[in-house]
């Protein structure tokens, strides 16, 4: 072989050497190309990774910024003059901070913008107005930019390993987050017990002191003015009956089971007649005693006085007609039939209430006539609007607390501007969607939203409650019926894409249902799995009470339709266990105003309750920009 190779022509050997040089050049060029492609691939990879990181960061930042708007609105103090400007500042700060946590720079001043997403009834689609300004913001757009030319700046272009052109890669990403609008129905308890904290009642233990109830009564009295009750004063007085015979005047003040007797001459005997018809006679010692208090064994309806004649210690005069009758009481206080102020009740009926009522003696107002006991009479016996046209304007509790709460909810939603809609249902013995006010009272507005019971006209929804009173229609508590109407309202009027919710309120216990309705629980009902609060596999709430199962069955219907149910319990007799179960099943909040709360505290707490519900917006979600 060596001998053969030595015979290769010299020119061929020279060509072999030159080809090796060509391969070196081609290899070098190819290597440069490969390295260039590798650099380009790395650049693309880095850009893609950076873009992905930036997109994730702005997604998180936009969601955080949107939620921060509602948080800022609910926590802004009274010293904040422009709450939406404040909320936007807070949202900018939060969005930039969340982006920074993801190692992405966002300029809060220019990269965070706001808009308002709303439902267009014509196109039946949601649109975004990016010119909404500094009010009613429910959309946040967050941009992340790597387009700066200053290499040391946080928004500088992504460095390029390939090193061609601008010396870096420009990347821009953005995300838009918004809060879903809500369609909400407030279900208000209109039963008679909604005034129990504002008068003396023995139907329930309110937990309030006598002074607290008297303070509440005074508010009702002031709100009813002008109100003329004959010669009765606001502070009740006992009825005194006076007779005169042969220059002798005798008077009897009736105090229930006792009487105070006075005479201008000495008393000889005082005979008491009780409501049962039995009598008891007291002999007075001596001949000069002119006054005395005589306590009997029952309610005293009449008194017969025997008194000595003027200047005599043996001759007497008898006053046999000191009668504790409605006619005598009316005459004593100037209460004629023609001056009774309202359609419901009468002076004689009021007098019977004062004389026989069981609550007034407990609070020291036994058989006392005046503004305080008259207010107790009308709020217990005639609270309906058809009977009393003026109670709507009084601050009676806990109904007034619910009024205040609903007004605050409407004010908050107005301020929020999140395209939420609100409707109202009330329940008592019956239930109805509240849509109209058409009263002859000139103080009442004319309202008719029956065509669209769920509305963004929150001021109108507030008025539907403002002009109502406890037991406006009737007395009982058909809680399940109220739920039925709330579900029906959402079924008919909710918008596609909205978050439906029901706010169920009560101060009492369910005590009636719709005629013909079933109280049976739906198939598959399991207390242990549905009401296991602590996760131990055992129900923390269950009941066989048909009134309770009636309510819970309606809540289950709402839940199965995707409706959130919040519950609010207020007052001393509310079934708190049931209301907690309602919210648990309804996947909502249970909010409680404790029993025995003063009226002032109750109003504050109820406003806090509605503020919490109003600010409990759904979690923000991302949406394409348009």
Q: How many residues does the chain have?
A: 626
Inter-residue contact 301 to 273 (CB < 8 Å): yes
Please state the φ and ψ torsions of residue 168, each to the nearest 5 degrees. -175, 170
Domain extents for the chain? 14-179, 183-198+396-618, 210-232+333-391, 237-329
User: H or E stretch including 279?
Assistant: strand 279-283
Helix (H) or strand (E) holding 480: helix 479-493
CATH 3.40.50.410 fits domain 183-198+396-618: yes
User: Among 93-107, 156-170, 235-249, which is the least confidently predicted range?
Assistant: 156-170
Q: How confident is the model at residue 566 (pLDDT cuts 50, 70, 90)?
A: very high
Rounded-to-integer distance, Cα 92 and Cα 75, Å? 16
- For residues 618 and 498, what is the distance between their CA atoms, to the nearest angstrom? 10
pLDDT in tens, 250-291: 999 999 999 999 999 999 999 999 999 999 999 999 999 999
Among the listed residues 117, 120, 118, 113, the one whose alpha carbon sits nearest the alpha carbon of residue 134? 113
Tokens representing 13?
């050997």
Closest C-alpha to 97, from 172, 89, 157, 149: 89
Range of weakest confidence among 60-64, 131-135, 468-472, 601-605:
131-135
Alpha-carbon distances of 29 from 15, 36, 119, 134, 165, rounded to whole Å: 21, 10, 62, 60, 21
Task: Give me 554's structure tokens.
Answer: 């309606």
The predicted model scores a pTM of 0.81
pLDDT band at 337 (very low <50, low <70, confident <90, very high): confident
- The secondary structure of 348-409 as a DSSP string is HHHHHHHHH-SSGGGGT-TTEESHHHHHHHHHHH--STTT-TTGGGS--TTHHHHHHHHHHH
Q: Give residue 109's pLDDT.
A: 92
According to the model, what pLDDT value does residue 69 have?
Answer: 82
State pLDDT tens for residues 229-261. Answer: 999 999 999 999 999 998 999 999 999 999 999
State the pLDDT at residue 594: 77
Q: Are the beta carbons of 252 and 259 closer than 8 angstroms? A: yes
pLDDT band at 27 (very low <50, low <70, confident <90, very high): low
CA distance 320 to 607: 59
Which positions ≥6 away from 404 have C-beta within 8 Å?
Answer: 603, 606, 607
Would the pLDDT of 3 be above 60?
A: no
The pLDDT, as a whole number, for residue 11 is 59
Per-residue DSSP letter, 520: P
Whether residue 575 is predicted with pLDDT greater than 80 in this model: the reply is yes
Rounded CA-CA distance 310/265 in Å is 6
Lowest average pLDDT, out of 74-88, 146-160, 202-216, goes to 74-88
Q: Which residue has the tokens 């309030």?
A: 208
N-term to C-term CA, the chain? 81
| pLDDT for res 465 | 97
- For the segment 579-618, what is each residue's pLDDT rounded down to a tens digit? 999 999 999 999 888 766 676 777 777 777 777 777 777 7
Asked whether the bond before 386 is cis by omega within 30 degrees of 0, the reply is: no
CA angle 97, 100, 103 (to 5 degrees): 165
CA atoms of 558 and 483, how far apart (whole Å): 8
What is the distance between the alpha carbons of residues 183 and 188, in angstroms, rounded to a whole number?
A: 16
Q: Is 592 left (phi over 0), alpha (psi -120 to 50) or beta?
A: beta
Q: What is the mean pLDDT of residues 216-232?
A: 96
Give, for 287, the enclosing helix (H) or strand (E).
Answer: none
């Amino acid at each position: 072989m060596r001998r053969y190779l030595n015979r290769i022509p010299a020119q061929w050997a020279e060509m072999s050497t030159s080809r090796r040089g060509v391969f070196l050049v081609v290899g070098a060029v190819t290597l440069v190309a490969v390295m260039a492609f590798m650099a380009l691939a790395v650049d693309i990879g880095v850009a893609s990774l950076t873009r992905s990181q930036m997109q994730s960061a702005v997604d998180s930042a936009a969601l955080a910024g949107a939620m921060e708007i509602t948080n800022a609105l609910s926590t802004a103090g009274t010293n904040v003059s422009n709450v939406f400007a404040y909320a936007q500042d807070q949202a900018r700060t939060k969005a930039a901070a969340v982006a920074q946590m993801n190692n992405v720079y966002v300029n809060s001043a220019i990269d965070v913008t706001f808009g308002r997403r709303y439902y267009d009834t014509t196109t039946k689609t949601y649109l975004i107005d990016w010119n909404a300004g500094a009010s009613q913001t429910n959309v946040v757009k967050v941009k992340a930019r790597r387009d700066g030319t200053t290499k040391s700046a946080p928004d500088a272009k992504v460095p390029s390993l390939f090193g061609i052109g601008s010396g870096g890669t420009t990347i821009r990403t953005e995300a838009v987050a918004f809060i879903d609008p809500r369609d909400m129905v407030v279900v208000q308890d209109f039963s008679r017990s909604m005034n129990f904290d504002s008068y003396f009642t023995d139907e329930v233990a309110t937990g309030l002191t006598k002074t607290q109830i008297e303070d509440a009564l005074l508010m009702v009295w002031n709100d009813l003015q002008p109100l003329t009750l004959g010669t009765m004063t606001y502070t009740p007085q006992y009825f005194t009956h006076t007779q005169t015979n042969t220059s002798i005047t005798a008077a009897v003040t009736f105090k229930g089971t006792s009487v105070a007797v006075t005479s201008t001459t000495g008393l000889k005997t005082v005979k008491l007649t009780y409501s049962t018809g039995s009598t008891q006679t007291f002999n007075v010692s001596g001949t000069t005693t002119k006054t005395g208090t005589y306590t009997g064994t029952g309610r005293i309806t009449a008194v017969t006085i025997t008194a000595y004649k003027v200047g005599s210690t043996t001759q007497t005069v008898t006053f046999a007609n000191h009668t504790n009758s409605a006619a005598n009481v009316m005459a004593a206080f100037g209460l004629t039939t023609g001056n009774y102020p309202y359609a419901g009740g009468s002076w004689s009926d009021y007098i019977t209430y004062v004389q026989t009522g069981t609550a007034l003696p407990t609070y020291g107002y036994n058989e006392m006539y005046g503004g305080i006991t008259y207010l107790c009479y009308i709020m217990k016996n005639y609270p309906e609007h058809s009977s009393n046209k003026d109670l709507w304007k009084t601050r009676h509790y806990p109904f007034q607390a619910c009024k205040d709460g609903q007004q605050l909810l409407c004010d908050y939603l107005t301020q929020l501007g999140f395209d939420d809609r609100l409707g109202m249902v009330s329940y008592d013995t019956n239930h109805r969607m509240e849509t109209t006010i058409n009263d002859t009272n000139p103080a009442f507005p004319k309202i008719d939203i029956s065509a669209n019971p769920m509305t963004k006209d929150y001021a109108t929804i507030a008025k539907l409650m403002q002009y109502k009173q406890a037991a406006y229609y009737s007395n009982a508590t058909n809680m399940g019926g109220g739920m039925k109407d709330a579900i029906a309202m959402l079924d008919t009027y909710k918008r596609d894409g909205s978050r439906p919710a029901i706010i169920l309120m009560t101060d009492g216990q369910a005590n009636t249902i719709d005629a013909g309705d079933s109280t049976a629980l739906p198939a598959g009902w399991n207390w242990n799995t549905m009401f296991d609060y602590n996760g131990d596999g055992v129900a923390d709430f269950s009941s066989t009470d048909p009134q309770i199962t009636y309510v819970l069955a309606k809540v289950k219907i709402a839940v199965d339709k995707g409706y959130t149910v919040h519950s609010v319990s207020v007052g001393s007799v509310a079934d708190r266990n049931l209301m907690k179960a309602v919210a648990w099943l309804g996947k909502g909040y249970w909010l409680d105003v404790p029993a025995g709360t003063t009226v002032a505290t109750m109003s504050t707490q109820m406003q806090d309750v509605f503020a919490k519900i109003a600010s409990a917006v759904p979690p923000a979600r991302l949406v394409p920009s348009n």
